[in-house]
């Protein structure tokens, strides 16, 4: 997995007032935990540009006063109005200890359902993955070359790797949906076919009725023709 370097310095003083002062200076108060002790440090806000505002998942190489540590971004807090970064938590990594991360989903190939007029939806842009740091993937690649109209690919259909997918197997990752206009046309066509079928049945019933009436009318003259011959015989 790709790694981004962030350089910081340990904080001499803690507290809300000191944190506020750091933000005014364009710095972010941070905490590194998961190891033997928590480390409180500060780093320029611009350092997070390539870590936070990116679709990629990254590991972090922290250098705090010359002490290097492998870590991941665990939590980040933004101001509700200005959206500046208020605080960041980092989790220290160990080679023999699994860690969980949200890994981006990428597609491979072209879905046949799109060529048929459908629309491709990526329902899950990230999947929660658990793995050792060395086995953590940069992305989850999903093959959509056999995805037809109205179908979807669920987590349980993915091929296993050197990691565990924490997201439920039943979750739909990618789907090709039928556009509303196509659904309306299909319904109208089905209704039209139904009406034509009903008209055909009514026509057949009318013909059968006419044939029945004609058969009954042809029997009457025959019976009437026999009556004079009986009279003549007497």
Give yes or no: residues 9 and 83 share one domain.
yes
Are 122 and 171 members of one domain?
yes
Q: What is the pLDDT of residues 166-195, one digit of tens each?
A: 999 999 999 999 887 766 555 445 555 555
Identify whether residues 159 and 125 lie together within a single domain: yes
Residues 21, 76 within the same domain: yes
Question: What ranges in the chain are assigned the alpha helix state H?
Answer: 16-24, 49-52, 112-115, 180-233
More confident residue, 202 or 137: 137
Same domain, 12 and 87: yes
Q: Which of 141, 164, 180 is the last residue of a domain?
A: 180
Q: Are residues 89 and 104 in the same domain?
A: no
Q: Which of 109, 105, 113, 129 is nearest to 175 (CA)?
A: 113
11 in the same domain as 88: yes
Q: Is residue 79 assigned to a domain?
A: yes
In a domain, 159, yes or no: yes
Residue 188 within any structural domain of the chain:
no
Sheet holding 172-177, edge to edge: 119-122, 172-177, 152-154
Query: What count of other Cβ atoms lies within 10 Å of the Cβ of residue 165?
Result: 19
What is the distance between the alpha carbons of residues 125 and 57, in angstroms, rounded to a whole number?
A: 12
- Do both 65 and 107 map to the same domain? no
Number of structural domains the chain divides into: 2
User: Is 217 contained in some domain?
Assistant: no
80 and 7 in a single domain? The answer is: yes
Task: Tell me, yes or no, whether 211 lies in a domain.
Answer: no
- What stretches of 65-210 adopt beta strand conformation (E)? 67-78, 85-92, 99-108, 119-122, 126-131, 140-143, 152-154, 164-165, 172-177
Residue 233 located in a structural domain: no
| Across 17-21, 27-31, 99-103, 208-212, least confident range | 208-212
* CA–CA dist 63, 69 (Å, integer): 7
Produce one character per residue of 48-57: b if its CB has 16 or more CB atoms within 10 Å, e if not: beebeeeeeb
pLDDT of residue 229: 43
Pick the last residue of a domain from 152, 180, 208: 180
CATH of residue 60: 2.40.240.10
Is residue 130 within 8 Å of residue 166, measured between CB atoms?
A: yes
Q: In terms of domains, do 29 and 87 share one?
A: yes
Would 196 be classed as within a structural domain? no
What confidence category does residue 200 fall into, taking pLDDT thresholds of 50, 70 and 90?
low
pLDDT digits (tens, 9 = 90+) for 45-76: 999 999 999 999 999 999 999 899 999 999 99
Q: Are 21 and 13 in contact (CB under 8 A)?
A: no
**Within 10 Å of residue 196's Cβ, how many Cβ atoms?**
10
Q: Does residue 123 share a domain with residue 71?
A: no
Q: Is residue 59 part of a domain?
A: yes
Q: Tell me the pTM.
A: 0.73
* CB within 8 Å of 121: residues ≥ 6 apart: 174, 175, 176, 177
HSE-CB for 48 with a 13 A CA cutoff: 24
Cβ atoms 91, 74 nearer than 8 A: yes
Q: Are both 75 and 108 inside the same structural domain?
A: no
Last residue of a domain, one of 164, 180, 196: 180
Provide φ and ψ at 121, rounded to 5°.
-120, 130
CB neighbour class for 136 (10 Å; exposed up to 12, middle 13-18, buried from 19): buried
CATH number reported for the structural domain that contains residue 164 in this entry: 2.170.120.20
Its domain, for residue 136, covers 100-180
Chain centre distance of CA 130: 20
């Amino acid at each position: 997995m790709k790694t981004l370097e962030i350089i910081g310095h340990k904080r001499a003083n803690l507290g809300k007032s000191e944190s506020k002062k750091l933000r005014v200076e364009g710095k972010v108060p941070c905490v590194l935990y998961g190891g033997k002790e928590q480390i409180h440090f500060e780093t320029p806000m611009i350092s997070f540009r390539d870590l936070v505002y990116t679709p990629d998942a990254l590991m972090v190489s922290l250098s705090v006063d010359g002490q290097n540590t492998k870590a991941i971004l665990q939590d980040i807090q933004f101001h509700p109005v200005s959206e500046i970064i208020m605080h960041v938590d980092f989790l220290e990594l160990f080679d023999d200890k699994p860690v969980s991360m949200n890994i981006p989903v990428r597609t491979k190939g072209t879905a046949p359902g799109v060529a048929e007029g459908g629309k491709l939806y990526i329902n899950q842009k990230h999947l929660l993955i658990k793995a050792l740091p060395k086995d953590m993937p940069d992305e989850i690649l999903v093959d959509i070359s056999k995805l037809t109209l109205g179908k979807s690919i669920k987590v349980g259909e993915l091929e296993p790797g050197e990691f565990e997918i924490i997201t439920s197997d039943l979750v739909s990752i990618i789907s090709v949906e039928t556009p509303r206009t196509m659904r309306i046309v299909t319904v109208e066509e089905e209704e039209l076919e139904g009406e034509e079928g009903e008209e055909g049945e009514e026509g057949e019933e009318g013909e059968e009725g006419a044939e029945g009436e004609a058969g009954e009318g042809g029997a009457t003259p025959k019976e009437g023709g026999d009556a004079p011959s009986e009279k003549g015989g007497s």
